[in-house]
């Protein structure tokens, strides 16, 4: 019995080995065949479509500001003021958020410091329909002349629209005698920033 068992074992090992090789070869052939039949893409879904052509145009933000009407023709004393007007027009294609600020000052012919002269002056800004509506005592944005700034978003100016601003410079009632004869030059800057859609 021992000899017959040993011969069976030798005989079974080669048959099991052939079966594993046959299975491996069949699997390899199946994998190669399936890869060759896929066409090179492995996406689950794949689609494309064309749209009709479109045109995108950018807008323009442009602004024109007229010169401020002369204010130097009227000398002011304590408690009095002088006025002037300017016109702003949105010549662009987008709405603009407006800001008005004093960006430079210069004091001449003063018997005191610039701070004393500038500290005695107040600026008022209002929107008016015509130059005739610009007068002393207008109500609007108010602040010290040297640091006047409406901040951004003071008002919105639509494309093609225009507006008139009225400026009033007021000398305080308690202005010291040392500011007598002083001349103040100032630069007013008007800025328009595109309003976010």
pLDDT tens digits for range 104-158: 999 999 999 999 999 999 999 999 999 999 999 999 999 999 999 999 889 999 9
DSSP state of 110: -
pLDDT tens digits for range 23-71: 655 555 555 555 555 555 555 777 777 888 877 777 889 999 999 988 8
The set of residues, in sequence order, having a beta carbon less than 8 Å from that of 137 and lying 6+ positions away, is: 168
Q: Would you list the domain boundaries of the chain?
A: 1-36, 63-194
Task: Calculate ∠ Cα 149-155-160, nearest 5°.
Answer: 125
- For the residues of 43-71, what is the DSSP string, one character each? -S------PPP---------EEEPPPPP-
Q: Which CATH class is domain 63-194?
A: mainly beta
Report the distance separating Cα 63 and Cα 96, nearest Å: 9
Is-above-0.85 flag for pTM?
A: no
Name the region of 174 (left: φ>0; alpha: ψ -120 to 50; beta: rest). Answer: alpha
């Amino acid at each position: 019995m021992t000899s017959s068992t040993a011969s069976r074992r030798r005989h079974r090992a080669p048959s099991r080995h052939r079966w594993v090789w046959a299975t491996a070869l069949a699997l390899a052939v199946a994998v190669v065949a399936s890869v060759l039949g896929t066409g090179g893409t492995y996406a689950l879904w794949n689609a494309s479509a064309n749209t009709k052509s479109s045109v995108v145009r950018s807008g323009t933000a442009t602004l024109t500001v007229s010169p401020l009407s002369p204010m130097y023709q009227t000398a002011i004393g304590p408690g009095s003021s002088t006025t002037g007007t300017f016109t702003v027009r949105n010549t662009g294609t987008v709405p603009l958020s407006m800001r008005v600020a004093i960006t430079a000052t210069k004091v001449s012919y003063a018997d005191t410091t610039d701070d004393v002269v500038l500290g005695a002056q107040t600026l008022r800004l209002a929107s008016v329909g015509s130059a005739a509506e610009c007068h002393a005592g207008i109500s609007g944005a108010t602040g010290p002349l040297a640091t006047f700034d409406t901040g951004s978003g003071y008002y919105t100016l639509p494309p093609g629209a225009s507006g008139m601003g009225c400026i009033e410079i007021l000398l305080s009632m308690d202005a010291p005698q040392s500011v007598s004869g002083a001349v103040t030059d100032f630069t007013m800057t008007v800025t328009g920033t595109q309003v976010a859609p």
